[in-house]
Structure 1
């Protein structure tokens, strides 16, 4: 099959969103063509009419606890759900990522990816059960982040099948691991690295974050550092001249506090945890503290990291050289997390498409700056990417009081259907977008 491509011309002032925006006429036309297609309308109706089934899946999946690094059980169940829904070539990799393909009609070797992450921030035993209150809100740790996403993506697959939507390019549906905490989005990175030899991946859509309006399309980078300082220790009175690991840590932290991160690009750092010492009447033999730094710019993040290293070494030097200081100090700095920063042009086609798709399902888009999601890993690899919100009212994510209101949340699925259809093309409806 010869696949026609839609070129992206120079941007023109075309229509009003929440404010006057510049959109590509071809992208506007593509969204309108897809939105008004009877088959796509059937898919939109499907996710709305089958919302109860989607919420039932969400409730089942949230009860399968999946702390970061322990996603196997949830991955196995999610794989079986996707297989039952008709997904092709589905498998679970060695890390427990779940990856499957909806074959395109064009045999183009190109694809688009839709994913949500399987892991949650909670420990085993934190999920006690599910309660639904009088207002229909579902209370359970993990019910939003990101269990809602993987249930929504399952509904999108079912809608494609039910409405007989036949993409031209392949569409991958994935449940990824190790997104939260020190997982550092490794599951997404592993998935993308696997697929690079199998397909020309044109774009990725992740579902993560609140509401049907919010989306992210840039990458806030992040590093975590663990600093360990050790010394000889000794009695607080009789060995009072000896160097102290805790005093050194305090001096190093004081030096870190002098660092002034840039406001633009937004960059932050904080010493977040500290512990040490062995007795109240002793000079500390060991101190450990941890640092988190973030930036919307990789260059700024690299610069702040160098400043942090210099500040720590300065603190060690001050303690080591103090008058009468006895004993030797040792210093180790371990980088425990390294998430890349990156950005896409504000007028990138995939950003325009996310805005227009949000409007097309009756919502006002809100494009937030930065964002630390699985989209980071796509942007680092030069793959156009967005992270869309899960579609509903949420409260208390990452807390034991987390709840989710399912009212009207199918807007998330409808946006995904529309964006996948434009990006991958639909046989008999529209050719794939030339470039995301």
Structure 2
């Protein structure tokens, strides 16, 4: 697939910055223009929309049931098929006009608009971070649901189904086509493969607005994409007996010093003035036994920033640290072949930002304010990174309720008596973007 481009840094800088210590922080809120408040007021004045908002509340038991059902179907990385099959069945039953699965495994439901001149997406991701064999059956402590992936992002899928059904039951008709999608590959090394496919030549066509469910709560809009580079760095050598082959190059020594050099230079760079940049060694491995010099030593690393230039600079520091240590280890060894190193890119999430004055962002904040929230803005790393990075209006919003322990076996979700507000906000943003034809 052709690599997606990253927007100019000037777009981020145009959002405005404020210095705090050595890191620049972009605004966490923005004024809402009157025209967008008026748009939401006009939509919510319609009897059919009021009925749909109430229907979302009436469907809370069904939302919970769908949530529990989908959570119990494991969706490990690259193996989302079983959950996708069930989600497609539920999506069709909820009231879309047609359902299909694309070449990346995305489950796509189309609800046709009157003219179809625009195409708006509401999406949640099918996959979880948990490996095959993880027990994802929901357990209960009072009203709280516990299970791996119960919040991230199975709650989003359940909320999406409720939006579809509320529109079907009330007969809301939009001007734009709406695509309701369960995507693959959002987590880990999936590298957003599902949403990348949506914007590729094999996708469903031009998308005009992209709304992603990820996380819970309501009132917050992620309108900026936190970019990330991820690598698997592997040092390789001949390997041998810890005593008999003593003196040959040791991949573990090389890896350890490369980590040290990157830690030194990375921390120094992260402390310089500029938009926040982070880096981490997440996984390491290699070796066969305690009495063997390893033939291989590897690490998987992650670095992040919403500023492409800062991200690329941190990347360059990793490359320099690895190159420096390879030369050092080969110079120090007393026997054997030189070590080699492979630096393989395993993840590349593009960075980017949407202007807070953009209509989609404004509609989101206006909808949240209508529902009683104090709207906030922020940055995140999710499926909306892709549309944002190529200039398509994109946001990520919460699906209501409270949650915690993301990516842990004791992940939990609680419908805090107002969980429906997260679903209602998505409906209002969706209708503001797609247009309501009903009088």
Residues 199 and 274 (structure 1), Cα distance of their counterparts in 2 relative to 1, 3 Å cut: closer
> Does the 8 A contact of 1:114 with 1:205 survive in 2?
yes
- Within the candidate set 221, 225, 231, 1:225 is matched to 231
Residue 364 of structure 2 corresponds to residue 354 of structure 1: yes
User: Offset of 1:352 from its aligned partner?
Assistant: 1.8
What TM-score does the superposition give when structure 2 sets the normalisation length?
A: 0.88
* Distance across 2 between alignment mates of 1:310 and 1:20: 38
User: Offset of 1:237 from its aligned partner?
Assistant: 4.0
User: Offset of 1:325 from its aligned partner?
Assistant: 5.8
User: Offset of 1:332 from its aligned partner?
Assistant: 1.0
User: Offset of 1:284 from its aligned partner?
Assistant: 3.2
User: Offset of 1:76 from its aligned partner?
Assistant: 1.1
> Does the 8 A contact of 1:233 with 1:283 survive in 2?
yes
Structure 1 match to 2:85: 76
Structure 2 match to 1:10: none
User: Offset of 1:275 from its aligned partner?
Assistant: 2.3
* Distance across 2 between alignment mates of 1:131 and 1:37: 40
User: Offset of 1:281 from its aligned partner?
Assistant: 3.5
- Within the candidate set 293, 301, 307, 2:303 is matched to 293
* Distance across 2 between alignment mates of 1:387 and 1:279: 46
Residues 229 and 52 (structure 1), Cα distance of their counterparts in 2 relative to 1, 3 Å cut: same
Residues 350 and 253 (structure 1), Cα distance of their counterparts in 2 relative to 1, 3 Å cut: same
Q: CA RMSD in A?
A: 2.1
> Does the 8 A contact of 1:355 with 1:365 survive in 2?
yes
Residue 63 of structure 2 corresponds to residue 57 of structure 1: no
Q: How does 1:255-334 map to 2 (within 5 A)?
A: 255-259=261-265, 260-262=268-270, 264-322=274-332, 324=334, 326-334=336-344
Structure 2 match to 1:140: 147
Residues 400 and 19 (structure 1), Cα distance of their counterparts in 2 relative to 1, 3 Å cut: closer
Structure 2 match to 1:162: 169
Q: How does 1:408-419 map to 2 (within 5 A)?
A: 408-419=418-429
> Does the 8 A contact of 2:71 with 2:136 survive in 1?
no
User: Offset of 1:46 from its aligned partner?
Assistant: 0.3
User: Offset of 1:323 from its aligned partner?
Assistant: 7.2
Q: How does 1:9-48 map to 2 (within 5 A)?
A: 21-48=30-57
How many residue pairs align between the two structures?
Answer: 408
* Distance across 2 between alignment mates of 1:373 and 1:418: 21
Structure 2 match to 1:188: 195
What TM-score does the superposition give when structure 1 sets the normalisation length?
A: 0.88
- Say which SS state the counterpart of residue 112 (structure 1) adopts: strand
* Distance across 1 between alignment mates of 2:173 and 2:331: 71
- Say which SS state the counterpart of residue 261 (structure 1) adopts: helix
> Does the 8 A contact of 1:211 with 1:392 survive in 2?
yes
* Distance across 1 between alignment mates of 2:218 and 2:245: 62
Residue 119 of structure 2 corresponds to residue 97 of structure 1: no
* Distance across 2 between alignment mates of 1:131 and 1:323: 55
Large movers: runs of 4+ above 4 Å: 18-21, 323-326
> Does the 8 A contact of 1:277 with 1:286 survive in 2?
yes
Residues 82 and 232 (structure 1), Cα distance of their counterparts in 2 relative to 1, 3 Å cut: closer
* Distance across 2 between alignment mates of 1:133 and 1:180: 27
* Distance across 1 between alignment mates of 2:86 and 2:240: 55
Structure 1 match to 2:393: 384
